[in-house]
Chains A and B, each alone.
Chain A
Amino acid sequence: MSLLRRRDVLRGAGATGLLALAGCSRGGGGVRQADLGGGTELSILNWELYIDPDEGPTEGTITRAERERGLRVRYDESYEDNIAAWETLIAPTLGAGDTLPYDIITPTFWVAARMVERGWAEQVPLEIVPNHVNIDPAYLTQPWDRGARFHMPWQAGITGIAYDPSLTGRPITSIADLFDPAFRGRVGIIGEMRETVPFGMLLNGEDPSRPTEATALAGLELFEQARASGQIAQVTFGEFADALASGELWLAMAWSGDTVILQTERPDIEFVIPEEGAVRWFDTMVIPRGAANVRAAGEWMDFVYDPANAARITAWVQYISPVIGVREELQRLGGDAAELARNPILFPDDETKRRLFTWGGLPVEAEAALDARFAVL
């Protein structure tokens, strides 16, 4: 089985791509740009397999944006790992007052939060992005950027639990099921601290959107003990899908988008939001400080936030779109796209949304300590 997995990783694979990036230029030195730049050149850094490509006569988003907005896009898919990107590219470059060779980068939200908090992000040029009104309000209440003035979410996902009912022999409903001795050695967890620790916190009755060092640590310890006892067999990224498909794992923490793709071949695999809640994450577009082409970046953001364009991206990447109106556009497209519009993983109902939590973040040093301890898992 060959599955297209966007978040497949790459994430754990290190920073080779980032290290090979073209040299970063000496630039703005933290001075807010006086103008937005009038160029049509646009350089984007994104994760791999995260946008619809040209397929035969059907133009992909990049080609259409170039044609309709007069942009010349250099699209780089070498963003591989948040921690590596932060440590080898973003912090050393922007922290030194240099500029990145990109007008838009698309890190996961917590990296974007760090950039915004340090003043390393340009404001979204609202005057060029009328489609900013189409951001789903769920993404507007982030404490680090209320109103999304410095970022625009690209795609979002849910980390829940996927399982094979024929192997578990019963429905999975709770995070506690990951620790059920009946499934010893058949459980997988996700190798991303900001998704797995929140699961432990939710099981402890804590709110991951407002973690403290103590509550986060208590959440982590649950998984450390389970890993040591052999309850948890694998710490995976996108490989959970293959492991579930082969029966190697019976249940696993799982990414919604990868599970949707898995379900096209294994419709019997279930995806659940545990009763305690699940983790919502999102990758988001940020204009790095001193970017040369803020205007072109704004044009791109506006283009991909047009619901018709956003729907095409969703139909291909199959993650949750942060753009209002995408569901209606998918219905209008018909066929497989209309089928996606009915998928509760892509379009969770209000009751489900209320059980989704986004990691609230800790001070950098505390998160680094948690990252280090989690990495040992």
Chain B
Amino acid sequence: METQHQLEENLKAQLIQQLNLAEMKPEDIKPEAPLFGDGGLGLDSIDALEIIVLIEKNYGIKILNSEKVKEIFYSVRTLAEYISQNQKT
């Protein structure tokens, strides 16, 4: 089982690859920084869809609760927490 830190690091690498953040390195992404909007990575709605696909493809988790998406997708940390809580062991 991955530790929270390992999971966050893996997520950063996967986001960079999947979202084509070519100018970015994992260390440039702070786990607590917002992914969307100003002051974060500046991701858009297409990126959000791509993250949904990434989570399903890499972790087998379907995000069905659309009301909580904003909360889950807030940062790498919140994403990692959601994955930890929902991943089948």
Chains A and B come from one and the same complex: no
List chain A positions with a Cβ less than 8 A from chain B.
Answer: none
Chain B interface residues (CB < 8 Å from chain A): none
